[in-house]
Structure 1
Amino acid sequence: MIDIPQGFARETISREGESGRAWIAGLPCLMNEVLEQWSCVPDGPVTHGNVGIVLPVRRWDLPPAVVKISFPHPGNVFEPDAFATWNGRGAVRLFARDDERFAMLLERTGRGTLAEVTDFDEAVGILGQLSRRLAIEAPAGLPRVSELVAEWPDEIRTTAAELGALLPRRVLDAAIETLRDLDSYQPQTLVHGDLHDANVMAGEREPWLAIDPKGYVGDRAYDTITVIRSYRFAPLLFTPAPAAGIRRGLDLYCEAAEIDRDRARRWAQTRAVRAALWGRRHGDPDWLIRATDQLAEILM
């Protein structure tokens, strides 16, 4: 029987309530069932992210692999579809899936992440190159970015009105205008949905491999905010000229990703506005809210 990390258990129960408690209680048995189903043997300790646990395993006919089991949440439904579509192109390989159990058998990567690359330009360039590499035609049935953001204009107006004038009106209006203007550009492109340093792992088959995709369809520029609302960019906000540093980083990413710079800027500004409002409502740390406010204004 595997041991569930206590920190992961506490976070899951705190976030998901009784459904999270029940899932955590059944998780050791669930993992054993999946291991038996796929004829895998544990090969290391359990690790975890925000929504799932990962167990290194071995199977005689595969390279080193991991079993990942995620909490059964709508946001985790399309992850295996994205992996299956990429088929190892810039992302870890999918060997098997059990959608009912929210379980996957995946290629094992190295332990390092892109967050450990200290050179700013190099790391941002790698993110951009990976975004470009992952940009392939999406299969049918995945959620479209346009559907995800359809309610955002009303949500932004309503939340801003309830919380008070915490962001300048022009900043809010710019976000709403972007949602109206860019909604028409929605190509049939697979979008990672959460591309950032910690979701890029060192690999052997390829130097860098993406993990934890959301699996959306639409404009790759949608991902820009997760690149720049990150710990790598955060120090730039506390320099004498934060706007110059943020805009330079945006330019580096867009050039490497071959994404239209203005479209990327506008998507990032819109998502920064929404993140700042969401963070106030859901208890984000004050420093993160202030940093996101600043991003929303810089990206105007």
Structure 2
Amino acid sequence: MITVPQSFRRMPRWWHDATGSEWLEALPERVDVQCRDWGLRVDGAVMHGSNALVVPVDRDGEPLILRLAPPGDDVAAEAAALRVWDGRGTVRLFDVDAENGAMLLERLDGGRSLAGEPLERAIVVLAQLAISLAVAVPTTVRGTDQVATEHLESFERDWAALDRPLARRQLDAAMRCAEDRAHERPESLAVNGDLHFDQVLGGTRAPWIVVDPVLLRGDTEYDLGRILWSRLDEIADDAEVLRLFDIFTGEANIPPERARQWVIIRSTSYLLWGLSHHLTEDPPRCQRLLDIFVPSQ
């Protein structure tokens, strides 16, 4: 049986989650059962992200990945999202057992992600992937306008509950941006709601491939804020942040003002969420982005 890495056990995801702790203890047996059911053989070191366990496996000579997600994760929705893209920019799905949180996926290079690439080059790749992911989807897919509506309804309440952690002018700006994005009907194009450097791995059929995408419909630049704050500590100069913003919007052919609105919305959202969950690193990064994109008056 496999051994669950201690680094996975220490992830914040499990700090206050009794059900998750039980799932962690049962993982070696779950992997064993899934391998028997799907005819797999473990053939590499166990890996993980912040949430799921990833096991290199072999089936009839084909290298694959067995991914196991914890209770509460909507694996059926994740599999459905992968089927929408069908390998266009994303990892390929070979099989799914939603009841047990298991997916059988294309093998990628888990040791090589865009997080390790030069920042400007990585930004260009993310912009190109965002374009590749913009396939047609039905209007039943959750829209970025719906996300904006939810933020418009919650921002002031959450801000007040957290004792007003950011300037009123920045909150007002975020609410204006959310209102704009909520009232503009988005295109029926797919967008990944979790696009950032760690979620793009090296591949063989393509140089870079997205893993764990979250399917939304609408504005391609939805997650540009996360892209910027993910490696913000590497950028000392605020002008450089704006230059990288311009590189992404230019490469993806996105209206800069619309992209600016999403950077403000997403930075405000994650700052408030992060503070409510006692995060210490990302909220200051989000605050720095707000200071850059909502300058003092």
TM norm structure 1: 0.90
* Superposition map of 1:1-300 within 5 A: 1-11=1-11, 14-15=14-15, 17-60=17-60, 63-74=62-73, 77-110=76-109, 111-118=111-118, 120-138=119-137, 142-183=141-182, 184-231=184-231, 233-236=232-235, 238-239=236-237, 242=238, 244-285=239-280, 287-300=281-294
> Which amino acid letter does the alignment assign opposite residue 153 of structure 1?
L
Contact 1:91–1:211, Cα closer than 8 Å, also in 2: yes
Relative distance call for 1:211 and 1:85 in structure 2 (3 A) is same
* Distance (whole Å) between structure 2 residues aligned to residue 252 and residue 191 of structure 1: 19
Contact 1:270–1:296, Cα closer than 8 Å, also in 2: no
3-state SS of the aligned residue for 1:151? Answer: helix
* Distance (whole Å) between structure 2 residues aligned to residue 4 and residue 20 of structure 1: 13
Contact 2:192–2:214, Cα closer than 8 Å, also in 1: yes
Contact 2:196–2:226, Cα closer than 8 Å, also in 1: yes
Contact 1:13–1:21, Cα closer than 8 Å, also in 2: no
* Distance (whole Å) between structure 1 residues aligned to residue 159 and residue 174 of structure 2: 12
3-state SS of the aligned residue for 2:137? Answer: coil
Question: Shift of residue 281 of structure 1?
Answer: 1.8
* Distance (whole Å) between structure 2 residues aligned to residue 117 and residue 21 of structure 1: 34
Q: Please list the CA deviations of residues 175-228 of structure 1 after superposition, one character each: whole Å capped at 9, or x if unmatched.
A: 111111112232222221111111111111011101111122222221211211
Q: Please list the CA deviations of residues 151-175 of structure 1 after superposition, one character each: whole Å capped at 9, or x if unmatched.
A: 3223210121122333121110111
Question: Shift of residue 283 of structure 1?
Answer: 1.3
> Which amino acid letter does the alignment assign opposite residue 257 of structure 1?
A
Percent of aligned pairs with the same residue? Answer: 32
The count of aligned residue pairs is 292
Question: Shift of residue 41 of structure 1?
Answer: 0.8
Relative distance call for 1:74 and 1:53 in structure 2 (3 A) is closer
* Distance (whole Å) between structure 2 residues aligned to residue 138 and residue 34 of structure 1: 32
Structure 2 residue runs without a partner (length 5+):
none
